Amino acid sequence: MWSPGIPQHTGGVQRVVVIVLVVAVLVLSLVWVFQRRLIYLPSTAPVPPAEAVIPAARDVVLQTSDGLELGAWFIPAEEPDRGLTVLVASGNAGDRSVRAPLAVALAKEGMSVLLFDYRGYGDNPGSPTEEGLAYDVRAARSFLVEDADVSPTRLLYFGESLGAGVVTELASEYPPAGLVLRSPFVDLATLGEVHYQFLPVAMLLRDKYPLVEHLADVTAPVTVVYGSEDSVVPPDQSRAVAAAAPELSQLVEVAGVDHNDPALVHGDLLIAAVVDLAEQIHRSP
């Protein structure tokens, strides 16, 4: 005999909804806890001595304001020396030895270079976070200005991918002579939404890297270099960064290359863009 009430199938639907919600909460919790393992991909193997990779280079140690010692390499300029030094902030993967070809190419163009590893990268102590990387890049700048006697007016910041966010934040507080951003993104949430469309990325992110927001406070000339086939940082994001620069020196597209292709990492167009900015700085009063 039929009696009014809740249809029998409703209980099954409710169970399904509960299961879906539980799974969603579990997934979001895991993303919250382990998100930095998706953002930071360090090589933790020991880094070889500087001169074993670049004969003219030397090992240096950076001291962060929160008490860490970080490994770095200083590569002197070849002659003729332009009297400029490039502070290189790496992307989110590998260690400083991967950037050796970039440093060699810049040194051949008469610029000294500092390569350093963030906390948790290479054989450095600590774990990477946005706040921690801000301490690390300040330690790199302090070494150059205070120990290597580099004038801030002769200092270029070079940020690669994630490092573009790191040096732009630094530049908003400590102006360089010029800023080179290779494969920059608008901010980490905007980039994350491209790769994780099914997640509420902006709500979950601990580390934000609001590059364009910091760029508004940068007074130095800015050069942006990007690959037309970049599958990690969409080209439209790098173009948006260039459009937001208060003083854009140059926007350089490297046609047909992806994020980690050698042509974009240390190729001729990239090096030429850095040289062009260096020459612009040299001409400035």
**pLDDT score, position 238:** 98
Q: Taking residues 166-173, report their average pLDDT.
A: 98
Quote the distance between the C-alpha of residue 154 and its chain's center: 22
> What's the rounded Cα separation, in Å, for the pair 182 and 162?
9
Length of the chain: 285
User: Which residue type, as a one-letter code, is found at position 149?
Assistant: D
Exposed/middle/buried for residue 95 (C-beta within 10 Å: 0-12, 13-18, 19+): buried
Output 27 or 240, whichever has higher pLDDT.
Answer: 240
Residue 45 has pLDDT above 70, yes or no: yes
The model's confidence at residue 31, banded by pLDDT at 50, 70 and 90, is: very low
Return the minimum-mean-pLDDT range out of 6-10, 57-61, 118-122, 271-275.
6-10
For 67: left if phi > 0, alpha if psi spans -120 to 50, otherwise beta; the answer is left
> What's the rounded Cα separation, in Å, for the pair 274 and 86?
9
Task: Provide the 3-class DSSP secondary structure of residue 128.
Answer: coil
Q: What is the 3-state secondary structure (H, E, C) of 190-227?
A: HHHHHHCCCCCHHHHCCCCCCHHHHHCCCCCCEEEEEE
**pLDDT score, position 204:** 74
**pLDDT score, position 29:** 44
**pLDDT score, position 5:** 53
Residue 154 backbone dihedrals phi, psi, to 5 degrees: -120, 25
**pLDDT score, position 201:** 64
Task: Give pTM, 2 decimals.
Answer: 0.88
**pLDDT score, position 21:** 44
- Per-residue tokens: 198: 């099914």
The chain-wide mean pLDDT, for the chain, equals 89
Q: What would the pLDDT profile of 185-197 be if each residue is shown by its tens digit?
A: 999 989 988 866 6
Residue 10 has pLDDT above 70, yes or no: no
Q: Taking residues 49-71, report their average pLDDT.
A: 97
Give kind and range of the element (H or E) at residue 274: helix 268-283
